[in-house]
């Protein structure tokens, strides 16, 4: 693991149906993070558009784009200009009728360092992602960059300890989760707090169990349901960076657009893993049933 400190930037913002405005917000956030010294900038899930999975509409597939394509060209040029590594989240058109929810990492020289296709695809009220996205087929493979080996996952993946573990076992030095998650506005405050806390606790637990930092970047603002079947989604922000013991290093607002930068002491992962050697003590000779859906 790298022993060098690393400044990380996160860009949390609201979205509208104006793609140009969304891109300008994202670009402004990246530039602000870079001006504060960030060498790694992480964006929220599907930052180019509204979160369109609240309903099932075939015309939405027009938003998808190839990789490489316009967005990777744009963010690649920005990465090169600012000398930063950027983690983006795109609606990938792989072929006609075949689409993925894909995170792409742009190296500081503008090249594509690698990509990750979202593996766990939800299908819940307001989150009809199975209509749009084919599950990923790349697997849980970290992406090597100039700032380290990045274990990039996406949103719903963040609830699964298996995904975090497999990334860590493959050498990921940081776990990264571009995210789009929020409340049903009809939920009472107590339920909202339980959901938000579960989300935060789950990811901080991945940091602890694997001895690596976690970066999770969410959006903010209310987005209406185009089908009018619900009250839409109130995205809860709370983007954060946690250290290898789950300690909060950075915590964004619940409702404000924010660009924030924090320094990671990556040498801490080495020292934490020495005192909490979970990888050493795993009993892989007794984990065979984890490959089953359920033990009947």
Residue found under tokens 């405005």: 21
Condensed to tens digits (0 to 9), the pLDDT of residues 46-75 reads: 999 999 999 999 999 999 999 999 999 999
Residues classed as catalytic: 45, 118, 155
Residue 47 lies in a domain: yes
Query: What single DSSP character describes residue 136?
Result: P
Residue 296 lies in a domain: no
Cross-sheet strand order for the sheet of 220-223: 182-183, 233-236, 220-223
Position 81 pLDDT exceeds 80: yes
d(CA 294, CA 222): 37
- Contact (CB, 8 A) for 35 and 50: no
Contacts of range 24-31, beta carbons closer than 8 Å, 24 or more positions apart: 25/257, 27/78, 28/259, 29/259, 30/75, 30/78, 30/82, 30/84, 30/86, 31/78, 31/82
Domain of 105 in residue numbering reads as 6-281
pLDDT more than 70, % of the chain = 99
How big, in percent rounded to 5, are the helix, strand and coil portions of the chain?
35, 30, 40
Q: How confident is the model at residue 281 (pLDDT cuts 50, 70, 90)?
A: very high
User: Quick one: average pLDDT of 240-261?
Assistant: 98
pLDDT of 285 reads 95
> What stretches of 209-287 adopt beta strand conformation (E)?
214-217, 220-223, 233-236, 240-242, 248-251, 258-264
Mean pLDDT over the full length of the chain: 97
Position 183 pLDDT exceeds 70: yes
Condensed to tens digits (0 to 9), the pLDDT of residues 116-157 reads: 999 999 999 999 999 999 999 999 999 999 999 999 999 999
Residue 16 lies in a domain: yes
Residue 10 lies in a domain: yes
Residue 90 lies in a domain: yes
Residue 292 lies in a domain: no
Residue 210 contacts by C-beta under 8 Å, 6 or more apart in sequence? 164, 165, 167, 168, 172, 175, 244, 278
Residue 289 lies in a domain: no
Q: How many domains are contained in the chain?
A: 1
Burial label, 76 (beta-carbon count in 10 A; 0-12, 13-18, 19+) = buried
Residue 293 lies in a domain: no
pLDDT of 2 reads 59
CATH code of 156's domain? 3.60.110.10
């Amino acid at each position: 693991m790298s022993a060098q400190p690393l400044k990380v930037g996160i860009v949390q913002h609201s979205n509208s149906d104006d793609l140009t405005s969304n891109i300008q917000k994202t670009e402004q956030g990246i530039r602000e993070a870079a001006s504060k010294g960030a060498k790694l900038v992480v964006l929220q899930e599907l930052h180019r558009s509204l979160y369109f999975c609240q309903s099932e509409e075939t015309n939405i597939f027009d938003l998808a784009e190839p990789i490489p394509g316009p967005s990777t060209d744009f963010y690649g040029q920005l990465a090169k200009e600012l000398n930063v590594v950027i983690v983006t989240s795109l609606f990938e058109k792989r072929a006609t009728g075949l689409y993925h929810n894909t995170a792409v990492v742009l190296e500081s020289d503008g090249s594509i360092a690698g990509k990750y296709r979202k593996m766990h695809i939800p299908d819940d009220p307001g989150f009809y992602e199975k209509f749009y996205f084919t599950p990923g087929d790349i697997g849980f493979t970290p992406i090597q960059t100039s700032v380290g080996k990045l274990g990039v996952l996406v949103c719903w993946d963040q609830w699964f300890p298996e995904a975090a573990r497999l990334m860590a076992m493959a050498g990921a030095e940081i776990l990264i989760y571009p995210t789009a998650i929020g409340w049903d506005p009809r939920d009472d405050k107590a339920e909202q707090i339980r959901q938000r806390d579960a989300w935060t606790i789950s990811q901080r637990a991945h940091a602890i169990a694997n001895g690596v930092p976690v970066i999770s970047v969410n959006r903010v603002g209310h987005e209406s349901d185009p089908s009018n079947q619900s009250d839409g989604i109130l995205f809860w922000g709370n983007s954060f960076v946690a250290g290898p013991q789950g300690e909060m290093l950075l915590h964004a607002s619940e409702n404000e657009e924010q660009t924030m930068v924090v320094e990671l002491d990556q040498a801490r992962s080495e020292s934490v893993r020495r005192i909490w050697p979970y990888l050493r003590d795993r009993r892989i000779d007794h984990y065979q049933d984890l490959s089953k859906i359920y033990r009947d």
